[in-house]
Amino acid sequence: MAEASQSNLRQFSDGIVANNPVLVQLLGMCPTLAVTNSVENALVMGAAVIFVLTMSNLITSTLRNLLKPHVRILIFTLTIATFVTIADLVLKAYVFEVSKKLGPFVPLIIVNCIIIARAEVVASRSGLGRSLADAFGCGIGFTIALCILGAIRELLGAGGITILRDLGWHWHIDPKTFEPHAWVIMIMPPGAFLTLGAVIGVVNHLRSRGAAKGGA
Amino acid sequence: MQKFIEESWLILVMGAVFAVLLAGVQTSLAPTITVNQAKALSEAIREVVSGTDRSEEVKIEGYDRKVYRCLGPDGNLVGFAIDAQGIGFADKIHLVVGVTVDAGKITGLKVIENVETPGLGNKIADAEWAGQYRDLDPGREIVVQKRPPKPGENEVQAITGATISSKAVTKIANEALRKVRPELVKLR
């Protein structure tokens, strides 16, 4: 396979930039639209997905030689469901307020296409090192994409950004001057689609320019 | 049977292992989660009935949710807190409303669970908006208006762009008070 020569580091960085699961692969759109109404929600969702993706890839890669074709998907789903449930319990125990805000979207990580896609494409065919690099890369890429969207939507829609009130941190950006002009639609569903479309447009533009220059 | 085990032993083993893992996580975290939920509730009670040191559950005839007697530091009754729930715009809304000892005035209202629209409906959880309910008359229907409330009319102003959420909270509070208030008078 052509990918065999690709280093693990490349696999990792691809997940963040060149093959970003949200902005390039266009997977996991549902949580991307739903939980990017604030940076805090985006961060916690990202952390949960990194955890689940890592555990899923780890277990799938370890067991890859035992996977019979007709039970593969079943095993992926079983693994993902278990770790999402663990993540949900951990969030409810340690960041109760945020987990209430994320609501049904944490259990919905089970059907997030990114995780099952990486299990199928990478973890079930590659060794542990490559699978873990991929998990971290895609997980971090997912989190970064969500935070970019979250920052845009929260700044324009709520007039400021507040992070991690639960854990006692508090990082506020300039709410007073901007708040009266806040564009409320940005934190509602239409704003999600508008922001996502705009960001993907910019990303595609940058990618086509990179390709035209004879880059990767 | 032999063939069945041959084909599916991995799933069976993984299922068993994951079940044990989940049971372990659940058992160790369940106390913390219950504490979180109880803390959220008792914090809310403290907010809606000021001066509360601790609270005791009471059973109210004809009301299936919890009502609490709020006691001050020296054990005397300072008010009652009523747990109420109902349907909002998006999903259910869970709130606590506090009344004075003689059930003559509302001492506060706090929404503890909601999934209303962020930035709009979920402003019902803001202390500023919910503060409107303070000092209203629990014996009369509370009415939602789209303009600032007139004093003495038992009104609250709806959140701009979130009328349904605002009306839902009021309806839930009205119903709870309607059912519980007559019984409270007997409980003093």
pLDDT tens for chain B, 188 residues: list them.
888 888 888 999 999 999 999 999 999 999 999 999 888 888 899 989 988 888 888 888 888 899 998 998 888 889 999 999 999 988 889 999 999 988 889 999 999 888 787 667 888 988 889 999 999 999 899 999 999 999 888 999 999 889 999 999 999 999 999 999 888 877 76
H-assigned helices in A111-161: 113-118, 128-158
pLDDT tier at A1 (50, 70, 90 boundaries)?
very low
pLDDT, one tens digit per residue, over A63-87 is 998 888 888 999 999 999 999 999 9
Interface test with B, best of A37, A41, A89 (most B CBs within 10 A): A89
The set of residues, in sequence order, having a beta carbon less than 8 Å from that of B134 and lying 6+ positions away, is B106, B107, B108, B109
Residues of B in contact with A158 (CB under 8 A): 119
Is the pLDDT assigned to residue A173 strictly greater than 80? no
* Beta strands at B77-87 and B67-71: parallel, antiparallel or unpaired: antiparallel
The set of residues, in sequence order, having a beta carbon less than 8 Å from that of B29 and lying 6+ positions away, is A89, A90, A92, A93
Give the type of residue at B31. Answer: P
* A67 part of contact set with chain B, CB < 8 Å: yes
Under 8 Å CB pairs connecting chains A and B tally to 63
User: Looking at residue B128, what DSSP letter applies?
Assistant: H
pLDDT tier at A135 (50, 70, 90 boundaries)?
very high
Distance from the Cα of B79 to chain A's closest Cα (Å) equals 27
CB contact under 8 A, B36 and A96: yes
pLDDT tier at A181 (50, 70, 90 boundaries)?
low
What chain A residue is nearest to B13 in terms of C-alpha separation? A75
CB contact under 8 A, A157 and B10: no
pLDDT of residue B188: 63
Tokens 């629209």 belong to B117
Distance from the Cα of A40 to chain B's closest Cα (Å) equals 13
Q: Is A171 helix (H, G, I), strand (E, B) or coil?
A: strand
The shortest CB-CB distance from A187 to any of B7, B22, B119 is to: B119
Phi, psi of B155, deg, nearest 5: -115, 155
Q: Over chain A, what is the mean pLDDT?
A: 85
pLDDT of residue B53: 86
CB contact under 8 A, B18 and A82: yes
Q: Look at A131 and A188; give whichever has higher pLDDT.
A: A131
Interface test with B, best of A82, A84, A110 (most B CBs within 10 A): A82
The shortest CB-CB distance from A188 to any of B10, B14, B117 is to: B117
pLDDT of residue A2: 45
* A158 part of contact set with chain B, CB < 8 Å: yes
pLDDT of residue B168: 95
CB contact under 8 A, A66 and B10: yes
List the B92-99 sheet strands across, edge first.
B54-58, B67-71, B77-87, B92-99, B106-113
pLDDT of residue A98: 83
What chain B residue is nearest to A158 in terms of C-alpha separation? B119
Tokens 């839902």 belong to B168
Q: Look at B91 and A175; give whichever has higher pLDDT.
A: B91
pTM recorded for the entire structure: 0.76
Residues of B in contact with A71 (CB under 8 A): 7-8, 10-11
> In 3D, which of A216, A49, A211, A2 has the Cα closest to residue A146?
A49
CB contact under 8 A, B36 and A93: yes
